[in-house]
């Protein structure tokens, strides 16, 4: 496996300040040297050909490219949760390897390159897929395909005090897909996650009657009954 590069936030900020918008706009992918940069750029090309204009189909791009990113990093580069938790790896990946991909989606947006930890673009994609994973690519896509960028942010930006409860989050995303059409609420996921935060102060989901699956479903049926 190729060694994943890393970069401190201070150095990432300095590097970001040197980025040239014109060069990113006309990025010469023929100059890519590392294998991971070539791999991600090829995935980006394939997804872009499928969805067309990235800015007009931004969530579909995020979802499809997120799935490609997740599987590529995990399968070929043996990416683990500890790697995904290390922002220094993401800084290096975004700035040194594929700045043109982040630029294509967000422009020279410092927030998405380096400024706000939970909005580092490729970091958000990997974690969105990871905490929504349903066992395989197709099942995960089906659960996520009708969401939007707000859904992505709602789930990724709510890790809780002890981090992501992965088994709970995956069930939440499953039932979010199941109940979205039944429960008329624009901000259903936000409400569910707030209820989850409150319940977790006194309830351990794994010990809930019916287990995590029933716990997650009951978060949604609560709003179907009120």
Summarised one tens digit per residue, pLDDT across range 12-44 is 999 999 999 999 999 988 889 899 999 999 999
Residue whose pair of structure tokens reads 């590097």 in the numeric block: 15
Distance CA 151, CA 194 (A): 14
Residue 131's pLDDT is: 95
Q: Which is more confident, 174 or 188?
A: 174
Average pLDDT over residues 122-150: 96
37-65 burial: b if 16+ Cβ within 10 Å, else e: bebbbebbeebbeebeebeebebbbbbbb
Torsion of CA 35, 37, 42, 45, to 10 degrees: -170
> How many angstroms separate the first and last alpha carbons of the chain?
52
Helices (H) and strands (E) in the chain, counts: 14, 0
């Amino acid at each position: 496996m190729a060694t994943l590069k890393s970069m401190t936030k201070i150095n990432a900020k300095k590097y970001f300040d040197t980025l040239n918008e014109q060069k990113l706009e006309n990025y010469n992918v023929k100059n890519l040297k590392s294998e991971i940069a070539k791999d991600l750029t090829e995935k980006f090309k394939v997804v872009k050909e499928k969805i067309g204009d990235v800015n007009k189909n931004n969530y579909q791009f995020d979802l499809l490219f997120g799935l490609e990113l997740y599987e590529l990093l995990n399968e070929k580069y043996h990416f683990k949760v500890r790697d995904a938790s290390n922002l220094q790896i993401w800084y290096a990946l975004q700035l040194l390897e594929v700045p043109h991909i982040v630029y294509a989606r967000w422009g020279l947006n410092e927030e998405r390159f380096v400024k706000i930890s939970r909005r580092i673009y490729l970091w958000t994609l990997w974690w969105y897929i990871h905490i929504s994973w349903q066992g395989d690519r197709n099942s995960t896509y089906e659960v996520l395909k009708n969401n939007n960028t707000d859904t992505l942010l709602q789930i990724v930006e709510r890790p809780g005090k002890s981090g992501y409860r992965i088994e709970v989050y995956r069930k939440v995303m499953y039932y979010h897909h199941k109940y979205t059409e039944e429960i008329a609420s624009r901000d259903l996921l936000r409400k569910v996650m707030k209820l989850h935060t409150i319940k977790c102060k006194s309830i351990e989901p794994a010990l809930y009657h019916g287990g995590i699956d029933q716990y997650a479903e009951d978060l949604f049926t609560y709003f179907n009954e009120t």
